[in-house]
Amino acid sequence: MSKAPDMTPVFPGSTDAAGRPATLGVLGGGQLGRMLVHAAQRLGYRTAVLEPDPQSPAGLVSHHHIQTSYDDPTGLAQLADLCQAITTEFENVPAAVLHTLAQARPVAPAAAAVAIAQDRIEEKAHFAACAAVSGVTCAPYAVLETEAQLQAVQNERPDLLPGILKTARLGYDGKGQIRVKTAEELAAAWAELGSVACVLEKMLPLTAECSVLVARGWDGQVVSFAPQRNMHVAGILAVTHAYEGALPPALAEQARAAAVAIAGHIGYVGVLCVEFFVVADGSEHGGLVVNEMAPRPHNSGHYTIDACDASQFDLQVRTMAGLPLLPPRQHSPAIMLNLLGDVWLDTQDQQQEPDWTAVLALPGTHLHLYGKQQARAGRKMGHLTITGPTVDGVRTVARQAAALLGLPGQDDI
């Protein structure tokens, strides 16, 4: 993909036609936006966040906080006036809004790419279309939008059971997903989900989950981080392992190449995370299976802030602003522990403060809290990254930190 005709690099310290400092815009005010704003500000940019929540993590730290809904015409006009380039920090911003903004300013990722990630049906069709180039396809699945399709799946696709029924839109962190074993359970699950558009995916014998972060520029240049191995609890990322040997080298290279192909197929610009399942050898679907993609920085890439010379957020800034891309280098083995609101709740669900003194006394710990005022079970409140000179040392400290915080999945660290 060639550079967009109206895309000229937005350099740190530059000014616009009105003499105002270079400003980068973000749709969405969550923790990803907050870390993106920090990365932009370190380079010297001003930032503007459009987000309705007055206490949003990103809005609280940005130079400008436009407190409107994502589709408010006045707010969007203000964002376009302030900024020289715009991105989104989560995929559920209406794609039409990105299309509208792109008429006035460079927007990365593009509306079309975000629209694919917003709809599992479109996403799986995209993965299937990429399979010949990427060498990786998704799990066997069927689209379920009508009663007739439900009947067809029940009668003609018994191979998809047991499976996972997932809403086509607005599902995340395990929400909008129900496991089903029989045709009867499938019908009941679809009704429970409101009979909305869904996909039914065949459950495969998984041995691991991994993800790849790639950054693709306006000129088609691509750089990437090494694939990381992830562990989930109740559908939410709990632990990320990022070090040499976390995945077999051949598998890691296959995942990286597939992610690059998936990004290139749609001329993607920005940081893209592609998640994969590793399926047990010997299965008819053995090897690597693509699960989903996120058109933004990703929870599994947070370790890059402390373990690499350029983080995923640094690369997002570079891509949206049209700056040169250099391959990021990881200087330390790392393990990232996701911190959910459960850490702040005792057995009676009363608020308590974690023992940060003990946690931060451990060598190589890097605490990142997102500035959220209220802890709730399952709510992402922060993360803890552990770095060190050796993988064994990092794993030892990560286990100690997980025990101090009462985190699940300690046996998998």
Binding positions for ATP are 120, 166, 171-177, 201-204, 209, 232, 291-292
Nearest to 108 by CA among 256, 266, 329, 275: 266
Q: How many CA atoms lie within 13 A of 45 on its CB side?
A: 31
| DSSP 8-class letter at 138 | B
Cβ burial of 374 (10 Å; 0-12, 13-18, 19+) is: exposed
Give CA–CA dist 3/34, Å, rounded.
Answer: 28
Q: How far is it, in rounded angstroms, from Cα 324 to Cα 37?
A: 19
Residue pair 9/323 in contact by the 8 Å Cβ criterion: yes
Question: What distance in Å separates the CA atoms of residue 162 and residue 204, rounded to the nearest whole number?
Answer: 9
Within a 13 Å sphere around the CA of 287, how many CA atoms are in the beta-carbon half? 13
Residue ranges for the known binding site are 120, 166, 171-177, 201-204, 209, 232, 291-292
Q: Is 344 within 8 Å of 351 (Cβ atoms)?
A: yes
Distance from C-alpha of 262 to C-alpha of 129, rounded to nearest angstrom? 9
**Distance between start and end Cα atoms, the chain:** 40
DSSP 351: B
**Tokens standing for residue 147:** 């009663």
- What burial letters (b/e) apply to 24-40, b meaning 16+ CB within 10 Å? bbbbbbbbbbbbbbbbb
